[in-house]
Structure 1
Amino acid sequence: MRRRTESTPAGFGAATRAALRRSAGTKPRRWLITITLLLGLLTAVALTAATPPDELTFAALAHPVQSLMSVAVPFLGILLAHDLRRSPGNVRLAPTLLATALLAAAVGLLGALFCAAALALAPEGVASDAWRYAGNIVLGGVLVQVVARLIGVGLGLLLSSFVVAALASIVLPLGLYGLLGAVGAVRPARAWLTPYATVQNLLAGDMSLLEWAQWVAVLLIWGVGLTAVGMARLRPQGAAAGSPTPATAPERSHH
C-alpha cells in the first residue's frame, strides 16, 4: 500500500480546502482576485453612470460586467493547473476542479451583486423592466465564470508558460468566434463551438432548450475536453517508473 506523503491531504474535503487555500496562497494570486473583482465593480459603477435611465437594466449591466471579469478568471485556473503540473501525485485533480468551480461561482455571484447594488443605487432611476430575468441572469453569470475558469485549468495543463496560457485563454475563444463569424456558411456553428456565443445567451436571461444544449456542448469542448487532454499529457510524467513524486515546488515570482 502506497504511503501518503505529508503534503497530500487525507480526504476529498481536505484536498478541496487545500486547493481553495492555494488559490489565494500567494500575493500575486490575491492581486489577481482583487483586480478581477475591482474590474467588475468599477464597470458596474461606470455603466450605471453612463447609461440612460430608460435603458438601465440588470441585463444591460450584467453582460459587460461578467464578460470583462471572465477575461481574468481563467488566470487563476491556469495557476492551479500549474500546481498539478509541478506535483501531479500530491495535487489531486477532482478536488482542484471542485475548488475551481466554487471560486468561479463566487466570482459570478459577486459580479451579480455589483450589478444589483449599482442598479439599486442608480441616482436617476432605472428602466421599468430593470429586474427582468434577474434570477436567470445571476445563474448565467455563475455558469459563465465556471466555464472561463475551467478553460484556464485546461490550458494551464497543456501549456507550461503562464503568459502563453493566459494569452491563449483570450485569443483562442475570441479568435474562433471571430473566424466563424467571418464566414456566413459556418456562422451558426459559433453557438455550439465558442464560449462567447453562450455568454451572450446566458446573460440575456431567457435561455431556450436549444441554447442550453449549446452551452453544454461548449462546456464539454472547452471545459471537460481541454482538461482531459491536459491530464492525458501529464499522466505519463506522473506514472514514470512508479517513482514517488517530488514535493511541490515553490511558485515563481510571476505567479
Structure 2
Amino acid sequence: MTDSGIPNTLANSTSLGEATVNALRRSVGTRARRLLFALALLLGLLAATGLALAGPPGDRTFAKLSDAVQSLMSIIVPAFGVLLARDLKPASGTTRLTPSLLAAALLAAVVGLFGILVCAAALTVTTSSAQDPWRHVGTIAVGSVLVQVVAQLVGTGLGLLMRRPTIAFIATIVLPLGLWFLLGAIDVLRPGQALTPYSSVRHLLSGQMSALNWVQWLAVLLIWGAGLNALGSARLRHRNHDVHPTPAVGEQSPSLSQ
C-alpha cells in the first residue's frame, strides 16, 4: 500500500474549504447583501423585543418567541441562497455547487443562532406568567437552526432552477405556503401537509417533536433541500455543457489548443 493518495485528498479538502470560505464571503460581499443580512437580523431582533415587551405575559415563552423570530427571519434567508446560486456562472467556469451549498448552510446556521440568542436574552430580561417558559428549549434551539438551513436550501434550489432571482425569491415564499394551503383545502390530500416546510417549521419551533415528526422533517429536507438542489445541479450541468460543449472525437478543446 502507498500513501500517494493522501496529498491529493488533503489538497481536495483544502480546496473545498477555501472555496466554501470564498462563497461565504461572497454571500455578504456587496453592500446590498450586507444590508439584506442586517434586515434579516433586525426583523428577528424587533420580533423578540416586541413580544417580550408588549406581548401578554403568558405568551412570553421560548417557544412563542422562537416561532415569531425564526419565522420572520426565514422569509429573508432564502434570498442569500438564491443569490449564491446565481453566482454560479458556467461561462466563467464557476460551477462548483458544493462550496456554495455549504456556505449557504453556514450562513443560515448563523442566522438561526442569532435568533436563539435574542430569544433567550428577551426571555431573560422580562417576566413571564407561563408555567414553564423554557420548556423544550434544547429541541427548539436545534430546530431553529434546521428551519433556517432548510429555508436556505430552498433558496439555492429555486435559484438554480429559475433564471430571474426576484422570481426565485418570491417562489421561496409562495411555493411552500401555497402548496401547504392547497393540500389543506382537499381532505384526501391533507396528510401531505406534513411534507411541506411550513408544517415542519411549526413542529420544530414548538419543540414538540415526536419520532414521526422527525421522520417527516427528514422527508422535507430530502424533498425541498436535496431534491430541489439535485434538479438545480442537473440544470447547472446542462448550462455548463451548452457553454463548454464536449469536443467531437479528433477535435481539441479550445483550452488545449491555445
Fold shared by both chains (TM-score > 0.5): yes
Residue deviations 1:202-253, cap 9 Å, x none? 01112111101100111111111111111111212213324679xxxxxxxx
Q: Is the 8 A contact 1:88 1:234 kept in 2?
A: no
Work out the CA distance in 2 between the residues paired with 1:88 and 1:66.
Answer: 36
Aligned pairs, number: 235
Equivalent residue number for residue 185 of structure 2: 182
4+ residue runs over 6 A deviation:
none
Equivalent residue number for residue 198 of structure 1: 200
Work out the CA distance in 1 between the residues paired with 2:60 and 2:18.
Answer: 44
Greater helix share, 1 or 2?
2
Q: Is the 8 A contact 1:119 1:126 kept in 2?
A: no
Structure 1 letter corresponding to 2:192: A
Q: Which has the larger radius of gyration?
A: 2
Q: 2:132 aligns with which of 120, 129, 132?
A: 129
Q: 2:81 aligns with which of 64, 77, 84?
A: 77
Q: 1:106 aligns with which of 110, 122, 147?
A: 110
Q: Which has the higher contact order (CA 8 A, sep 6+)?
A: 1
Q: How far does residue 46 in structure 1 lie from its aligned partner after superposition?
A: 0.7
Q: 2:224 aligns with which of 206, 222, 225?
A: 222
Unmatched 5+ residue regions in structure 1? 1-8, 246-255
Work out the CA distance in 1 between the residues paired with 2:64 and 2:92.
Answer: 42
* Cα RMSD for the two superposed structures: 1.8
Equivalent residue number for residue 162 of structure 2: 159
The normalised TM-score by structure 1 is 0.87
Q: Percent identity?
A: 56
Q: Is the 8 A contact 2:90 2:240 kept in 1?
A: no
Q: How far does residue 18 in structure 1 lie from its aligned partner after superposition?
A: 0.5
Q: How far does residue 126 in structure 1 lie from its aligned partner after superposition?
A: 4.5
Q: Is the 8 A contact 2:95 2:236 kept in 1?
A: no
Structure 2 letter corresponding to 1:62: S
| Cα gap change, 1:72 to 1:225, in 2 (>3 Å) | same
Aligned with 2:203: secondary structure? helix
